[in-house]
Structure 1
Amino acid sequence: MVESAYPGAETYELTIAIVIFKPDQETVLKTIQSLRHALQLSGLTQVKIFVIDNTPAASGYDWLLEAMEGLPFEIMSGQGNVGFGRANNIVTDAVGKYHLVLNPDVEMEPEALANAIAFMTDHKNCGLLTPKAFNPDGTRQYLCKNYPAVFDLLLRGFAPRAIKRLFAKRLNRYEMRDQIGDVVFWSPPIVSGCFMFFRGDVFKKLGGFDARYLLYFEDFDISLRTAKFAEIAYVPTVRIVHEGGNAARKGWWHIRQFARSALIFFSTHPLKLI
């Protein structure tokens, strides 16, 4: 564990959890730099950043220590590859008034955190906020989803482009493209885990993510559980760029994890085939 010296309060205004695994340093550095700028504009003083490294036998943090200089941070390692959800859950007891689950491949606009906090301040019923997202090439990325059918997941994740074009209308409905735009949208059924801005007490009440998921679908599950007692909002003034990528392009290990997590998800939540 590596920790910065930080004279903060016992209760943080904002905590941020970033889980890394065999990280691409250039990508993570972009994330940290954008986070630094966003924190500067947020006006917050009681902040803690947790970097949780799932890399087995992780070592050599000079590059990260340099990038985090001047920021209130803690690097947590040694747990091995316990999965995205369990790694995030390590800091559940320490979460502040607001808690951001942030992927290491996300760059946020400088006003993102300030706008997220302003929205949460004005809407006490909101327990989870999701942003407007873009791909690195500037095209829109849709983080909100309708409840998935197995067919939608297979189509979106693994079908060739020609097949996807045949089912474009269906995929657009699944990604809520006709509903998610430039105004606030309440109660999207599913939101992405790449940027989840929680009210801290909501994240604690949830107990964090379901630890059974190693990778994939943990964000689906926590979205549905959150909606049982708090509102979820898509807020377009909170803007990010997310690199992302689907499981099929990442190889067989990711495909197996996708299938495993899908089985867990549909054994917990209603099965919808088509």
Structure 2
Amino acid sequence: MHLENQNQILSVSVVVYRPDVLLLTRTLASLASACAALRAKAPDVPGVTMTLYLVDNGGLPDIATSLSVLHDCGVTPVLLSGHGNVGYGRGHNLALGRATSRYHLVLNPDIDLDADALVNAVNFLDQHADAGLLTPCIKDDEGHLQYLCRRYPTVFDLFVRGFLPLRFRRYFAARLARYEMREVINANDVVWDPPIASGCFMMFRTALLKQLNGFDSRYFLYFEDYDLSLRTHESARVVYVPEVRVRHYGGGAARKGWAHIRMFVASAFRFFSRFGWRWF
């Protein structure tokens, strides 16, 4: 049984499988800077500690320099490897089983954090005890807002957004805007209780995430964040906080080839079978 360590303010899990070295290195560098800022803002917590669990599902290159930078910023890097490619959710669960922190951050290896992202996230969660999961303002590499908070999807929404060519997708712009909550999500306003948050950056109260047993490991890839978001609403509130800013360099399943499309479809079937089918 893992009890909360009052001095360990944050743990972070990053799951990688044959990662893009440049993106991963950049993610870890931004994480180091954000953790250094958080450490500097918590002088009232004696011996404050932070831990990065880097979960190697296969193909991790030598990133000793990046891990050394993290260590210098007060972050203890822990490498979890040798288990093979167990999938995204199960990989994060390996880290969650070891975490004893106040907050736990599920982070993709293609995310850049603003220097004050973790300071702002921790401050918000410290001040709002009813918030169990925080999702940030996410922009792309050109600085455009990504609308990754979602309403409950229909099968048609997912098809249009993920697979329909752009020249046809524009005919469904109003429908997709509603699904992506474009009328309420912006770079300024806090939004409470978006139904679904993106798995690229999910900051939880660790005790809550353990109570939920983390991700459902039956999803190998895709929709595990949809599933976890909906289950979170049963125990705590989800909140979009634009003051927490990150950049995301990831791509959709359709741009990654047929293997990813097959995984996407299989996970979508599991998701809808569990929470209810909505076709149109």
- What TM-score bracket applies, with the shorter chain setting the length? over 0.9
Deviation at 1:143, TM superposition (A): 1.5
1:70-85 matches, cutoff 5 A = 70=72, 71-85=75-89
Contact 1:29–1:67 (CA under 8 A) maintained in structure 2? no
Quick one: distance in 2 between partners of 1:23 and 1:254? 15
What is the rounded CA distance, in whole Å, between the counterparts of 1:66 and 1:113 in structure 2? 20
Task: For 2:269, give the aligned amino acid.
Answer: L
| SS in structure 2 of the partner of residue 86 of structure 1 | helix
CA distance in 2, matches of 1:94, 1:69: 18
Where do residues 189-268 of structure 1 align in structure 2 (5 Å cutoff)? 189-268=195-274
How many residues matched? 265
2:153 maps to amino acid = P
Structure 2 equivalent of residue 53 of structure 1 = 56
Greater shift, 243-252 or 91-100, is seen at 91-100
Q: Give CA-to-partner distance per residue, 1:191-232, whole Å, 9 cap, x none.
A: 100000001111000100000000000000000000011000
Whole-angstrom CA distance in 2 between matches of 1:29 and 1:237: 24
**TM-aligned CA deviation for residue 252 of structure 1:** 0.3
How far did residue 259 of structure 1 move? 0.5
Unaligned stretches of 5+ residues in structure 1: 1-8
Letter of the aligned partner of 1:85 in structure 2? G
Q: Which residue of 2 aligns with 1:98?
A: 103
Q: Distance in 2 between matches of 1:170 and 1:59?
A: 42
Distance 1:149 1:261, change over 3 A: same
**Secondary structure at 2:8's aligned position in 1?**
coil
Structure 2 counterpart SS, 1:256:
helix
| 2:6–2:102 CA contact under 8 A, matched in 1 | no
**Residue of 128, 132, 148 corresponding to 2:133:** 128
- 1: CA distance, partners of 2:107 / 2:124: 18
Report the Cα distance in structure 2 between the residues aligned to 1:11 and 1:164, rounded to whole angstroms. 49
Letter in 1 for 2:159: L
In structure 2, the residue matched to 1:31 is 27
Between the aligned partners of 2:201 and 2:215, the Cα distance in structure 1 is 14
Which of residues 137, 144, 149 in structure 2 aligns to 1:144? Answer: 149
Please list, as runs of the form range in 1=range in 2, the aligned pairs for 1:108-187 lying within 5 A after superposition.
108-181=113-186, 182-187=188-193
Aligned pair in 2 of structure 1 residues 249, 59: CA closer, same or farther (>3 Å)?
closer
Deviation at 1:92, TM superposition (A): 1.9
Q: Which residue of 1 aligns with 2:90?
A: 86
Gaps of at least 5 residues in structure 2 are 43-47
**Which of 13, 18, 28 is residue 9 of structure 2 equivalent to?**
13
Shift of 1:94: 2.4
What amino acid is aligned across from residue 216 of structure 1 in structure 2?
Y
Cα-to-partner distance string for 1:160-199 (whole Å, 9 max, x where unaligned): 0011100011111100000111111000000100000001
Which secondary structure does the structure 1 equivalent of 2:124 belong to?
helix
Quote the offset at 1:46 in angstroms: 1.2
The alpha carbon displacement at 1:91 in A equals 1.8
CA contact (8 A) 1:156 1:164 kept: yes
Deviations 1:21-76 (A, max 9, x none): 101111011101111111111125311100001016x5645455455442311111
Paired AA for residue 42 in structure 1 = L
Instruction: Provide TM-score, normalisation by structure 2.
Output: 0.91
Q: 1:65 to 1:118 in 2, by over 3 A?
A: closer
